[in-house]
Chain A
Amino acid sequence: MREAHAAHEAHAALQHQFDTLEQQKEASTLGMWVFLVTEIMFFGGLFCAYLIHRRQAYEGFAEASFHLDVGLGAFNTAVLIGSSLTMALAVWAAQVGRGKACFGFLVGTIGLGTVFLGVKVVEYSHKFHEHHVPGERFHWTGAHPEAAEVFYSLYFAMTGLHALHMIAGIGVLAALLLPAWRGRYSAAYHNPVELTGLYWHFVDIVWIFLFPLLYLIGRHG
């Protein structure tokens, strides 16, 4: 809430509807969190569909999941966690006003994100060649063809939506590069980096759940 005595801080980034940078920062942070709640529910619909279908056709899901590459999935998990680390460090660098370091960590985050997407492209093209992409050309030689198609429908929906979020995240990160290089972020003003960080970590969390749910069904069997 605004302070009655608050004087207007003369800062270029302060928008007219706010009294202080502090109020602006708190508002935008809350806004990002509320947005992330909508994202939870957005992915939540898919997780719900996944849960019900997996319960109905567990054996088929396990069978289909065997055809995913655990190595690539685990590698990508590690890559994404690494990108979360560089993202957190980028926020740190912005907070302490080290623009060049912030720039470096942002580049690192973008790089790891790109690696993740690259691996995803490799995985998708495998699926495409094996005709495991649902639709007209879907072809399944093993058991449970119907459940396998449902599984891959959900696989592509969930990882595809996740990848779209990654791409959007990389776009936003790229927009931060120039201001970071120019040292625009400081202890007083680093909100764009921090909010992008929240978003990036959220995307990481989604993958933390997607990895065991999609790649690791019934592997012990």
Chain B
Amino acid sequence: MLTAFAIVTDGLVYAAYLFLVAVGLTLIFGVMRILNVAHGSFYAFGAYGAAIAVGVYFDRGWPAAGGFLLMVLVAMAIGLVLGLVLERGLLRLVYGKDEIVVVLVTYAAFLILEDVIRLIWGPNSYALYQPLGAAGTVDVGALVLSGYDIGLVALAGLLAIGASFALKHTRWGRLLTVVIFDRELAAAFGINVTLVYTITFVIGAMLGALGGAVMAPKIAVTLGIGVEVIVLAFAVVAIGGMGSVGGAFIGALLVGESRAAAVHLLPQVELFVIYAVMALVLVFRPQGLFTRAQPRKI
């Protein structure tokens, strides 16, 4: 019983983590058809930024709430800068090229940013421990849940709801939906696709940085944290359906829960359960759970 409960809650927490790192990626892919490897760098920059700024904040002994707010602000600032630089400075040059070539451009950007991190913050690791303490704990029988984890799940949920609401009910969201559905059509409707791209990419970057910022308190912020995240996010997005926010949400839940189950019941398979799930989904629904395959017009 307790195990079952543990599986569900652990799954939720891991799913929240996955969704936070995947949502930006899937948004960018949906709108721009770019599989953005540099997303890992956004995550890493977000983590470093938060670890330093928020760390300083807490050391001042100022109220915790502000610290959490600062996390989000840092993430947004970093996303804004990195997003603009990459999109305006680099991606703009390769729009319309082979999809894979664009992927490789983001891969190159990722390689460079990895070392930029090293040049800015040095090779040593940073820790942002205060928020976990500040968030407290909730006891459920033998199981102690971290308040911070609960916060993460809530944040992920809010993001998911917020995103789907924004896509449906705001003017910008509708524009995006049109672009996602059919770029040519969107252009024909006189939508400024270039602007949509820039803004989407910046938002995606912000979300990636946010993922890093909110994970920073739980991990040691050190070189190479981006690499792991990329392939995880890819898996989630591929499972949910490239470009579908709802899909990323379900994909994250699916992976999170199956991993939690594996850890509790069958630790041997934990290492590749994610990829097993991914392979299965792709085999039975090539286009992922949440996107329809484009019908071929002839």
Asked whether A and B interact, the reply is: no
Chain B residues within CB distance 8 Å of chain A: none
